[in-house]
Amino acid sequence: MSRPCPQRIRIYFGCEGQSEQSYGKRLNQIADEAGLHLHFDNDVLQPGGGDPLELVKLAIFRIEQKRRKRGEFAHRAILLDRDKLQQNPAWEPQISRLAREHRLLLIWQEPCHEAFLLRHLEAQSAARPPTSELAMQSLKRLWPEYAKGIAAMQLAGRIDLQAVLRAGSAEPALEEFLHTIGFP
């Protein structure tokens, strides 16, 4: 007689675009490899236009839609590019309030996803390129085959559990998220 598989813990993972969605898929693969029973609902928040306030509002709307169809999420997080916040600093208090009210963990990518990925690479956890352009240049120098929209399978060659933990040590919100969902 086979033992029933434990039910997977549902995690809402809001993504600005395809690159973040691939990252969420890769996190799910790493969780599977570690024997964790997690299910990431990687939700590309389009159309969002890069406006972080609108992305958070859309995530909240989608969480409610998905909750009604399939039940509650155990955890909720969203990846956001911090460089977009500079367009309107008044967004930040509104975003923080909405996130608190809806139990949504904000994982700010400083300044963008490419810089966030850069901090996963060996000896790069302290890398803080000041602009998105410099972040892309730095990442491409160390990872020439990287391109926006990279697939989770391509991330697997560079992003493993150790890389995620390395980035978590440099990114407090990522570390909080990993700890909350049970990463080792």
- pLDDT tens for residues 21-67? 999 999 999 999 999 999 999 999 987 667 999 999 999 999 999 99
Q: How many helices (H) and strands (E) does the chain have?
A: 8, 4
Does 5 have pLDDT greater than 80?
A: no
- Higher-pLDDT residue of 86 and 173 is 173
pTM score, two decimals? 0.93
Report phi then psi at 140, rounded to 5.
Answer: -65, -30
For residue range 106-135, what is the model confidence (pLDDT) as tens digits?
Answer: 999 999 999 999 999 999 999 999 999 999
Domain count, the chain: 1
Q: Does some domain include residue 154?
A: yes
Whether omega for the bond prior to residue 111 falls within 30 degrees of 0, making it cis, is: yes
Cα–Cα distance for residue pair 101/94, rounded to 1 Å: 11
Domain of 70, in residue numbers: 9-181
Q: Does some domain include residue 38?
A: yes
